Amino acid sequence: MNNYGESNGDSNVHEKQVEGHDHCENGDGSDNRVILGIDGGTTSTVCVCIPLFSSSKSLPNPTPILGRAVSGCSNHNSVGVTVHVSYPTETAARGTLEEVMAEALSKSGSDWSAVHAVCLGVSGVNHPTDQERILNWLREIFPSHVKLYVQNDAVAALASGTMGKLHGCVLIAGTGCISYGFAEDGREARASGAGPVLGDWGRYVLCTQCVFSSLPNVVRVYEIVAFNSLSGYGIAAKALTAVIRAHDGRGPQTMLTNKILKALSLSSPDELIGWTYADPSWARIAALVPEVVSCAEACDQVATKILVDAVQDLALSVKAVVQRLHLCGEDGNGSFPVVMVGGVLEANRTWDIGKEVMKCIQEQFPGAHPIRPQVEPAVGAALLAWNFLMKESTGNSHS
């Protein structure tokens, strides 16, 4: 396996004909072979099918999507660590992935024999051993000539903003948070998301992965996920804490009290305790972020401080990656992309968290330029596979 988390398969893959499939080249530089890009998230599995474009030196923009399919997770839990978690059978997990790929192929008018490469982005893949174990499972589905790539889902998110090129930094701030970056020479670094013991404030949850939680002997059959102060969960949890502190006299009064109680149809802060622990799932807590933003827009000091702290921490996570990879160049003014992903960073409010984060980053690194992806991570995974194939065909090991 190379540094892409790739299954090399047949060394003559670029010339191999797939029996039973016509590879006549089309006028746009594509042929009838296809690439599958898959985003194995914790709430759904998305698969897209794009043309191979084997003779093209660049991808068309926008990239044509031949077929797209979405499947629910074979099992997904977001619960406290003391709660028993059941896992799906391997048959069910494999069935979910095969189903979503088959549907995408069917919608594209293709079949399994047309698949030339597959790139899978999945959370929890942070080490070559993780990649290899999942690749072994995928090899049971595809013949040896199909090129297989497995990456962390943050890498696919980065690729969704850079047309598959691994250079720059991605900041994901939704329910959870991570900053992940690549230098042009292939070096990579990450910040945040390491868990509260290692510096991220939040609460542990057990999160079984959408398709891959049941694979035997896979590292991180389930993973401990920390939703820190940078994330949607962390922002909302701080707001709930502020309401409780204001109620019992340990903190200042805040508009958050009435705003959150109204949103939850509760009559007293005392009821927040029962509401929180009745279903402590991270998504349910994170859904309160818009209420925090509304209070900050109304100049509530407590809500404003929560968001300002989040902005500073989010920017710091990107700065840490930039500095480790020297993305800014020797003079600190070099240009590099920052791909912004996640609901916390959406630019649709007066109090624009994403805009404030970029302002903070650009104070130190003026060459940073934000990119808000126009395509989803599954498309990013497909673009990533295409770029890997092109680099391999030219003998270049870096993206």
State the CATH number of the domain containing residue 285: 3.30.420.40
pLDDT digit string, tens, across residues 95-123 = 778 899 999 999 999 999 999 999 999 87
pLDDT digit string, tens, across residues 314-354 = 999 999 999 999 999 988 899 999 999 988 998 678 999 99
Do 236 and 325 lie in a common domain? Answer: yes
Helix axes 256-264, 289-297, angle to 10 degrees: 140
Asked if residue 38 is part of any domain, the answer here is yes
Higher-confidence position of 175 and 159: 159
pLDDT value of position 152: 87
Do 66 and 133 lie in a common domain? Answer: yes
Do 53 and 114 lie in a common domain? Answer: yes
Structure token pair of residue 71: 């499947």
Q: Which of 115-129, 146-160, 200-214 has the highest mean pLDDT?
A: 146-160
pLDDT at 41 over 90: no
Gap between the terminal Cα atoms of the chain:
16
Do 273 and 162 lie in a common domain? Answer: no
pLDDT digit string, tens, across residues 210-227 = 444 444 444 333 333 344
Count structural domains, the chain: 2
pLDDT value of position 40: 81
Do 321 and 273 lie in a common domain? Answer: yes
pLDDT at 261 over 50: yes
> For residue 198, what is the DSSP state?
G
Q: Name the pTM for this structure.
A: 0.78
Asked if residue 182 is part of any domain, the answer here is no
Q: Provide the sign of the torsion angle of the four alpha carbons 199, 325, 186, 48, taken in this order.
A: positive
pLDDT at 58 over 60: yes
Domain membership of residue 332 as a residue range: 190-202+227-371
Q: How many residues does the chain have?
A: 399
Asked if residue 135 is part of any domain, the answer here is yes
